[in-house]
Copies of this chain bind each other. A is one copy, B any other.
Amino acid sequence: MTGAPATAPAAVVLLSGGMDSATVLALAREQGLRCYALSLDYGQRHLAELDAARRVAAALGAAGHEIVRLDLGRFGGSALTDRAIAVPTSGIRQGIPCTYVPARNTVMLSLALSWAETLGARHLFYGANAVDYSGYPDCRPDYVAAFERMANLATKSAIEGQTIRLHAPIIALSKADIIRTGLRLGVDYAMTVSCYQADAQGRACGRCDACRIRAQGFADAGVPDTTRYRRSVEP
State the Cβ distance, A144 to closest chain B Cβ, in Å: 9
State the Cβ distance, A228 to closest chain B Cβ, in Å: 31
Task: Check: A229 CB closer than 8 A to any chain B CB.
Answer: no
Task: Check: A71 CB closer than 8 A to any chain B CB.
Answer: yes
Task: Number of A interface residues at 8 Å Cβ cutoff, please give it.
Answer: 43
Pair A68/B71 contact, Cβ less than 8 Å? yes
State the Cβ distance, A54 to closest chain B Cβ, in Å: 16
Chain B hits for A138, CB < 8 A: 153-155
Pair A107/B118 contact, Cβ less than 8 Å? no
> How many of these chains are in the complex?
2
Pair B75/A102 contact, Cβ less than 8 Å? no
Task: Check: A147 CB closer than 8 A to any chain B CB.
Answer: yes
Question: Secondary structure of the A side of the interface?
Answer: helix
Which of A109-117, A169-177, A186-194, A200-208 is found at the contact surface with chain B? A109-117
Chain A 90-114 near chain B by CB (<8 Å), digits 1 or 0: 0000001000111111110111011
The chain B residue sitting closest to A105, CB to CB, is B154
Q: What separation, in Å, do the CA atoms of A69 and B68 have in the docked complex?
A: 10
Given contacts A75-B114, A103-B117, 15 further A-B contacts (CB under 8 A): A66-B75, A100-B156, A102-B115, A102-B155, A103-B111, A106-B151, A107-B107, A109-B110, A137-B153, A137-B155, A137-B158, A137-B159, A140-B153, A146-B150, A149-B149
